Structure 1
Amino acid sequence: MRIKGQKTMKQRLLDREILLGTFVKLNCPQLVEMLGFSGLDFVIIDSKHGAYSYADLQDMVRVSNGVSMNAIVRIPSITEESILHSCDIGAQGIQVPNANTLEEITFAAEHMRYHPYGKMEFALTTRASMYTFCNSLDHINYVNNELLSVIMIENLEMAGRIQEICQIPQIDVLFIGVENISQSIGKRGQTNDPEVLAIVRGITETAMKNGKYVGVYAGTIEEVKMYSNWGIQLIAYISEMVMIATEFKEVCASLMAIRDESNM
């Protein structure tokens, strides 16, 4: 669903902008509003690891759009139902996790577009089509050309087939799950290991050469800087949960230190 008065994410990527966002794990619309007020470009609402119904996801997307922030839904699994509902609730992007075969990726990509570019079922009685208030051709054009199609690369096998994946025309962004890449080569969590970085760099360069945009999860501010210098344009910095937990730990440690000093 187009956010009124804004360029779409795809248009901004085409203009070579770097888009910054975060994953959202907690089912809390107020936190999404706060992230929008903070100036982030997008959130990735993580229904793979978060506790969301379809109604919850629609509310989270609606709140995000209400503060002029794009919402990408990370679907829980590669099914036609998950993809269709994520489009119908008005998300600006759909992110597909844990693909293990080229066939799965092709299936997902084709079900993010309407005929003649894909196989998504058509309906105008949805939020994405403004509950029938949207012109049907405008809605079809948006889904087929502006809805951001994001495929996650999270294992060594798919990392080795990037050239083939890039030939799937419906895909806009290859999003690198660095943590899972590290795990797939037996170096879980070692996101700055030279072997892990070489794989991430290889995916990035191949995707860019083939006209695809690249997204990535960044675990530190230093990684954000590094990936942006590589030309990666869609960068998700940790998650709102990690940001909150980090601040809680720091504040509580300071409070406990004051208490301990007073009790001496």
Structure 2
Amino acid sequence: MFKRNRLLEMLERDEIPLGMQCFTGHPALIEVMGMTGFDFVMIDCEHSGNDVCAMESSVRAAQQAGLAPYIRVPDHADETAIRRALEAGAEGIFLPMIRSAADVRLAAKCAFFPPMGERGICPATRAARYAFRNFDQYTAWNNAEIALVPMIEHPDAVRDIDEICALEEVKIIVFGAGDLAYAMGEGTLMMKSPRVQEAYRAVLDSTSIS
């Protein structure tokens, strides 16, 4: 049996998930997070030194600790990174520097199996239970439960937010105030910037409607 995506379940119940970013790739830290009441962990592979082996170890530690494992890939268009994160057992992918709905569609092609996407199959992966489970059940679970999380951290994404939120593949979004502030010429002000606050309200309004 493949379990439901924990974050999606919580959001369907109008619960607020508690999560944290993890840059170290150290399983002990992830275990502590699970013991102290966190619901999910975002394992960073964009800015950290985590390689594929460290990422898989982090996913394994998260699942053992009762956390939903999410991976931030190095690039939203990196098919190999998206595929390997999901094959390791991630329940969702954080997509950095999204600029448009087209960017999300491209990532969806990498994340989902046909007919939803174009991802290649391999029953011998960890996520597919090393071929000890029915692979058709796994692909159906993947296409129903994997969450793509566009990171809204570029002015172009703010302008295209209605189209991004309208995509069937998008169930969660993240507002990235740091990169957005820099891209807008606001330096390190982040949410202290009135312009970033305005962008945040626009994104929030769009998600409320969607």
TM range (shorter): over 0.9
The residue that corresponds to 2:145 in the other structure is 146
Give the CA deviation at 1:111: 1.7
Tell me the matched-pair count: 208
What per-residue deviation string (whole Å, max 9, x for no partner) do you get for residues 175-233 of structure 1?
111111111222222213332112112112202312xxxxxxxxxxxxxxxxxxxxxxx
| Distance change >3 Å, CA 138–CA 171, structure 1 → 2 | same
1:73 aligns with 2:85: no
The residue that corresponds to 1:23 in the other structure is 21
Q: d(CA) in 2 for partners of 1:170 and 1:123?
A: 22
The residue that corresponds to 2:196 in the other structure is 196
Alignment of 1:34-73 (within 5 A): 34-73=32-71
The residue that corresponds to 1:239 in the other structure is none
Q: d(CA) in 1 for partners of 2:5 and 2:122?
A: 24
Q: Output the amino acid matched with 2:209.
A: K
| Distance change >3 Å, CA 2–CA 152, structure 1 → 2 | farther
Give the CA deviation at 1:167: 3.0
Q: Output the amino acid matched with 2:98.
A: A
Give the CA deviation at 1:7: 5.9
Give the CA deviation at 1:101: 4.3
Q: d(CA) in 2 for partners of 1:124 and 1:9?
A: 25
Q: d(CA) in 1 for partners of 2:2 and 2:54?
A: 20
Identity of counterpart residues, as a percentage?
25
Q: d(CA) in 1 for partners of 2:35 and 2:17?
A: 15
The residue that corresponds to 1:182 in the other structure is 181
The residue that corresponds to 1:124 in the other structure is 123
Q: Output the amino acid matched with 1:103.
A: A
Give the CA deviation at 1:103: 3.0
Alignment of 1:237-248 (within 5 A): none
Q: d(CA) in 2 for partners of 1:49 and 1:24?
A: 11
Give the CA deviation at 1:55: 1.2
Q: d(CA) in 2 for partners of 1:104 and 1:195?
A: 24
Give the CA deviation at 1:134: 2.1
Alignment of 1:218-229 (within 5 A): none
Q: Output the amino acid matched with 2:154.
A: N
1:89 aligns with 2:75: no
Q: Output the amino acid matched with 1:69.
A: L
Q: d(CA) in 1 for partners of 2:128 and 2:78?
A: 21
- Tell whether the 8 Å contact from 1:2 to 1:8 is kept in structure 2 after alignment: no
Q: d(CA) in 2 for partners of 1:7 and 1:161?
A: 27
What per-residue deviation string (whole Å, max 9, x for no partner) do you get for residues 40-84 of structure 1?
011100100111111110000000100101110000112110111
Q: TM-score, normalised by structure 1?
A: 0.74
RMSD: 1.7
The residue that corresponds to 1:137 in the other structure is 136
SS of the equivalent of 2:43 reads: strand
What per-residue deviation string (whole Å, max 9, x for no partner) do you get for residues 17-39 of structure 1?
10111110112111111111111
Bigger mean CA deviation after superposition, 71-80 or 95-104: 95-104
Give the CA deviation at 1:143: 0.8
Structure 1: runs of 5 or more not aligned: 211-264
| Distance change >3 Å, CA 56–CA 97, structure 1 → 2 | same
- Tell whether the 8 Å contact from 1:117 to 1:170 is kept in structure 2 after alignment: no
Runs of 4 or more consecutive aligned structure 1 residues displaced over 6 Å after TM superposition: none
Alignment of 1:156-175 (within 5 A): 156-175=155-174
Q: d(CA) in 2 for partners of 1:207 and 1:75?
A: 23
What per-residue deviation string (whole Å, max 9, x for no partner) do you get for residues 108-130 of structure 1?
12221111111111221111011
- The structure showing larger relative contact order (alpha-carbon pairs under 8 Å, at least 6 residues apart) is 1
